[in-house]
Chains A and B, each alone.
Chain A
Amino acid sequence: MLDTIIEGAVAFMLIAGGAFAFIGSLGLTHLKDFYMRLHGPSKTTTLGVGFTLIGSLIYFSREDGPVIQELLITIFAFITAPVSAHMLAKSALHHKLKPDPRTRGNPVELESDKPRHTIEEAPQGNSPLP
């Protein structure tokens, strides 16, 4: 009886993990602009990985006693994913990627106020690269 419950839990975790990972990837291909595509991998896929790891944690805990490493991996994945998403968004803003026309709000970061230098006509001295 207990075995059935544990196996059911493991199966549920694996299916949920797979489904979330798949939906996250689907978002990566289907959404319209870079900023929207960022939402899929940063949240959904991370949760997919989390669910899969917890499924594996339950399975191996029953086989050979409690396993804690996988819980740690899950926690670290959840700590690092937002940081990488933030860096991706930051670099997209830096390159002034155009958001989808439906996007409201007009951040200063995306306004193209100054004409940007190409590498050849960049001013001499230690000014930053364009």
Chain B
Amino acid sequence: MIPPTRWLPMPVLSLLLLVVWLLLQESVALGQWLLGGVLAILIPVVCRPFWERQPTIKRPLKLLGYFFRVLGDIVTANIQVSKLILDPRGRMRPAFVEYPLTLKENFPITILASTITMTPGTVSAHLRLDGRTLLIHALDVADTKALIDEIHQRYERPLLEIFES
């Protein structure tokens, strides 16, 4: 990826900010480039202290694939949850599941936790302070072991490959 320099501590974030700025303005006039450029340099410099460690994306293409997989899963997840809510008999098997994390860095863990919240019947409720376990609340789960395996195979392994491999 692009190496960080003193005035561009987070080049990817800067680029992203500039692109979002131009998209929001819906204009590629020189003035917008200048204003967006100034913001894209200033904001990362100012909020640098909040990022304890900058994430490195090792495989950008895989990240794109992950994004589309999650998008598809969000739709199926919602159909499942809708069915559960509309089921008049209300047969649900809620459970707290302790998920053992193999990811180590904060940023990928954040993405994993968000993904878990957006996908089938699970909300990530709590990240233990040791950063090793994620407490998940599931709406309807038959086999907690299977759920842990599924999350590991489907989401955590790709994230490991993208960020930490």
Contacts and interface: CB of A to CB of B under 8 A. Distances in A.
A105 B81 contact: no
B125 interface: yes
Contacts of B26: 67-69
Interface string A58-100: 0000000001110010000011011101100110110000011
B24 A69 contact: yes
A103 B94 contact: yes
A26 B81 CA distance: 11
B38 interface: no
B101 interface: no
A81 B115 CA distance: 11
Contacts of A33: 94
Nearest to B125: A89
B96 A83 contact: no
Interface residues of A, number: 44
Contacts of B86: 23, 26
A104 B137 CA distance: 10
Interface of chain A: mostly helix, strand, loop or mixed: helix
Contacts of B77: 43
B108 to A, nearest CB: 14
B128 to A, nearest CB: 8
B160 interface: no
Contacts of A40: 81, 85
Contacts of B126: 89-90, 93, 107, 109
Interface in B55-76: 74-75
B12 interface: no
Interface string A99-121: 11011111101100000000000
Interface of B: 20, 23-24, 26, 74-75, 77-78, 81-82, 85-86, 90, 92-98, 113-115, 117-118, 121, 123-126, 135, 137, 139, 144
Top 10 A-B pairs, shortest CB-CB distance: A105-B96, A82-B117, A89-B125, A82-B114, A27-B85, A104-B95, A103-B94, A23-B82, A35-B137, A47-B78
